[in-house]
Amino acid sequence: MENEPDQVSQQHNPEYQEQFQKQADIYNEQEKADYQKANEERSLAEKFIFRKPEGPQGITAVDMAHEEALTVDSVVNKAIEDGSEDTPQEIAETVLTSQEFGLKTPEELERRERLLRDGAEVVARVYSADIDDSWEEIGNATKQMSPEDSIQMRIALRELIRDYIATCIKAGDIEDLTKIALENSIAGVGGVEAYKDFPREIINLEAFQGRMAGHIEQGSARPGYTFESNAREVRSRADTVTAYELMDQESLKAVIEGEVIKSFCQTGIEQGSARPGYTFESNAREVRSRADTVTAYELMDQESLKAVIEGEVIKSFCQTGIEQGSARPGYTFESNAREVRTRAEIVREQQLMTDELIDRVIKGRTIQEFCQTGIEQGSARPGYTFESNAREVRSRAEIVREQQLMEQAKADAIARAAIDRMRR
């Protein structure tokens, strides 16, 4: 059997080479022995009348692998009946020689032979470019198998799909490649990498570009994953798509700046402020962390990110959080005053509000009423002496000054008025 011309330059797998070379050596030795025996057993008449027969021609490791491939003709023929238009030999050689025999391992060949034997319908689906159907069919073919055998069959199917795609690319089979690209799931064909050598005429199709865009966008919507994990997945998918030249930079930019990714980033950042059961500080840090994640993975420009941080959701979170620090039941006036200042500093530290906006919240009605009411209530503590309550009023006025919640003159004026009322 003649070698295929382009197999001469292949870099053979050592395990493959050793396995099939041994088989070829055994075959060649047996052929040589049979020839010598037949030659010795010829009669004198045969030796005189006929020329000495030609000796056996040795076969190579690749020839031996081809011979083994052809032993599965019966099941391959079933694949033809189920839809393939190739001959049994063509199928056997396609199955076992895609990417050339030199790239195969003995384990791969063993798995492939079992797939051909026990999953002919699966193979037929692959040869019809119905990749997703082949994955459904493998489930039927492995129902009665052990978990380990089932896994090996699935590995064999993945290898077959890979090799069939490589064969189609080598043969320039645009029809099957288009069907594989547009009518089967990305996961089914083996991920985005499977398309890396597809013809440009397929890659440039609007439908294919749409699939790549959808693939990137879907990375942001994986249920059960954290915001950071999904953001990283979006960037990973984008980088993979461009690395294999399946989308140009301009098209990628349009996807990243599109509504899906934009909404994912904005919603994710805003949801960081609303995690139930977490403290204000924890949620504030989460908002900043998510904003930094978006920046790190280049999913949103600084102007758009600034708009999200300064938007109504984050603004309301910060303002409400600062104000709620003044209304914690069961805490002293001093403790709540310190909490208000702490929350304001957290917002400043996480860069969720400008100094101007923070000051506006502090000078707003809620905090100012908290300060005034708190100072005044220091004068009305039942069971305390005049001196003790007066000292409490001054202490509370000093607290709001220390925490920079009220101007000194205003705090002093409220304290004096409260003490004057006590005297009356």
Give the tens place of pLDDT for each residue, 22-59.
777 877 888 888 778 777 776 665 555 555 666 677 77
Residue 347, pLDDT > 80, answer yes
Distance CA 164, CA 245 (A): 21
Query: For the segment 191-212, what is each residue's pLDDT rounded down to a tens digit?
Result: 999 999 999 999 999 999 999 9
Q: To which residue do tokens 């930079």 refer?
A: 249
Residues 6 or more apart in contact with residue 200 via CB below 8 angstroms: none
Residue 15, pLDDT > 60, answer no
CA-based Rg of the chain, rounded to a whole angstrom? 39
Distance CA 289, CA 317 (A): 16
More confident residue, 380 or 370: 370
Residue 62, pLDDT > 70, answer no
pTM of the model: 0.72
Distance CA 344, CA 326 (A): 12
Average pLDDT over residues 223-239: 97
